[in-house]
A and B are shown apart, each in its own frame.
Chain A
Amino acid sequence: MTNKEWPLYEVFIRSKAGLSHKHAGSIHAADDQLALDAARDTYTRRSEGVSIWVVRSSLIVASDPAEAAAFFEPAKDKIYRHPTFYEMPEGVENL
């Protein structure tokens, strides 16, 4: 008998049509179908979802928090991307 730990899955739930799937937590399961079943039982006991995604945690590629400052730096000095950067003349409307 094998005693290996079941793989970890991340669970994403769409709470209702029109909204995106959002990370809810994680579960362990032996295979994909059992992961869906376990995610349903664990995270939607009160009708919190209309759709579930499960994905093996090991398949997620994530940015490194230690590198976050450098990684997101290029966006920092481009404040002209925000509408508030522009001063509109007094009296002009619908802008």
Chain B
Amino acid sequence: MYTQGLDQKGQADSASNGAESPADLDAFQKRIDNEEKIEPKDWMPEAYRRTLIRQISQHAHSEIIGMQPEGSWLTRAPSLKRKAILLAKVQDEAGHGLYLYGAAETLGVSRDQMVGDLLSGKSKYSSIFNYPALTWADIGAIGWLVDGAAIMNQIPLCRCSYGPYARAMIRVCKEESFHQRQGYDIMVQLCKGSDAQKAMAQDALNRWWWPSLMMFGPTDKDSQHSAQSMAWKIKRFSNDELRQKFIDATVPQGEFIGLSVPDEDLKLDKKTGHYSHGEIDWQEFIEVIKGNGPCNKQRMAKRRKAHDDGAWVRAAAHAYAEKQRNI
């Protein structure tokens, strides 16, 4: 389950429709400030609704596309146990996508609309899933780093002001720690293995480290749209704060198993207890978001094909339901 700078895109649609009185807006903000939860049929500013629809649907799309990098290893898992575990994890991702689509639908957008926007490319998903899972160690790195970063992002979302999103996140977070642990477990086992296995683990860490840091979205300096999401309590911590938490938690986990993150500028500040890190390649991030990552085209093509190939199943279920009604 993965969010990332999803509140960054398309803020142009936050223009209000003009029918919202200052008194309504004030009353709404007061509810938010009092830590009241907003529920589906409550009055809400149009911009709040749209921000949430965009963020939740893109979060859902990320779960659905997120099944692909790991799904590609289901038939190649090194043992039956690993295969069963990976299958359960990938199934969880599908489930997370469904919880989230359900939460977004409470805001008045239909499932078909959201799926259509994903398939047409109008709606985005997390950039991280446009990187390939080249070796079995990547499955370890994805669980450990990608799900780890996702947890950092999602725990504060459990307190999001919009009730259905917060409830979906609570459910997701409960399941997510299994994902992170199974990933770290793969890395632990590889690091206990042969030199070649350990090198494979280090190589996977090298490739996934920077993209994982990018999952938190642009730096606070460049993240101009965070302020409104913070005021609405959709977002509770800034991108840089969450990124810092992730680095502080993850670097020692790597060291524990003899792996080092690929950042020559990484330094622990003994006074603050925080790591300072090297420059993130934001140009790469922008390119991947724009559709020029290593796997963007492949991911979308596969999703579209799955949707098309499933059309007869959807139609058959419909026809059967229709027939039952007419008996």
CB-CB nearest in chain A for B99: A25
> Which chain A residues border B281 with CB–CB below 8 Å?
none
> Which chain B residues border A5 with CB–CB below 8 Å?
110-112
Complex A-B: 16 CB contacts under 8 Å: A2-B318, A5-B110, A6-B317, A26-B105, A30-B317, A30-B318, A31-B317, A41-B91, A41-B95, A42-B95, A42-B98, A42-B99, A45-B91, A45-B95, A45-B175, A64-B41
**B256, CB-defined interface residue at 8 Å:** no
Count the B residues whose beta carbon is within 8 Å of the partner chain — how many? 30
**A19, CB-defined interface residue at 8 Å:** no
Cross-interface CB contact of A62 among B41, B171, B314, cutoff 8 Å: B41
Interface positions, chain A 52-66, Cβ under 8 Å from B, are 62, 64-66
> Which chain A residues border B98 with CB–CB below 8 Å?
27, 42
Binds A, one of B122-130, B146-154, B204-212, B319-327: B319-327
A61 to B: closest C-beta gap in Å = 13
Given A25-B99, A25-B102, CB of A6 within 8 Å of CB of B43:
no
**A81, CB-defined interface residue at 8 Å:** no
Interface positions, chain B 58-117, Cβ under 8 Å from A, are 88, 91-92, 95, 98-99, 102-103, 105, 110-112
**A76, CB-defined interface residue at 8 Å:** no
> Which chain B residues border A45 with CB–CB below 8 Å?
88, 91-92, 95, 175
Interface positions, chain B 282-327, Cβ under 8 Å from A, are 311-312, 314-315, 317-321, 324
**A17, CB-defined interface residue at 8 Å:** no
A42 to B: closest C-beta gap in Å = 5
Q: Which residues of B contact A (CB under 8 A)?
A: 39, 41-43, 88, 91-92, 95, 98-99, 102-103, 105, 110-112, 167-168, 171, 175, 311-312, 314-315, 317-321, 324
Given A42-B95, A64-B41, A66-B43, CB of A28 within 8 Å of CB of B111:
yes
A42 to B168, CA, bound (A): 12
Cross-interface CB contact of A65 among B39, B314, B317, cutoff 8 Å: B39
**A75, CB-defined interface residue at 8 Å:** no
CB-CB nearest in chain A for B311: A1
Contact status A6-B95, CB under 8 Å: no
**A36, CB-defined interface residue at 8 Å:** no
> Which chain B residues border A64 with CB–CB below 8 Å?
41
Contact status B111-A30, CB under 8 Å: no
Contact status A1-B112, CB under 8 Å: no
Contact status A65-B318, CB under 8 Å: no
> Which chain B residues border A1 with CB–CB below 8 Å?
311-312, 315
B157 to A: closest C-beta gap in Å = 16
B283 to A: closest C-beta gap in Å = 39
Contact status B168-A25, CB under 8 Å: yes
Contact status B92-A31, CB under 8 Å: no
> Which chain A residues border B311 with CB–CB below 8 Å?
1, 3
Contact status A65-B41, CB under 8 Å: yes
Per-residue CB proximity of A32-53 to B under 8 Å, as 1/0? 0010000001100110000000
Given A6-B314, A25-B102, CB of A30 within 8 Å of CB of B41:
no
Contact status B43-A4, CB under 8 Å: no
CB-CB nearest in chain B for A10: B102
Contact status B42-A65, CB under 8 Å: yes
A46 to B95, CA, bound (A): 12
CB-CB nearest in chain B for A29: B317
B263 to A: closest C-beta gap in Å = 36
A2 to B: closest C-beta gap in Å = 5
Contact status A6-B99, CB under 8 Å: no
A17 to B: closest C-beta gap in Å = 22
> Which chain A residues border B171 with CB–CB below 8 Å?
25
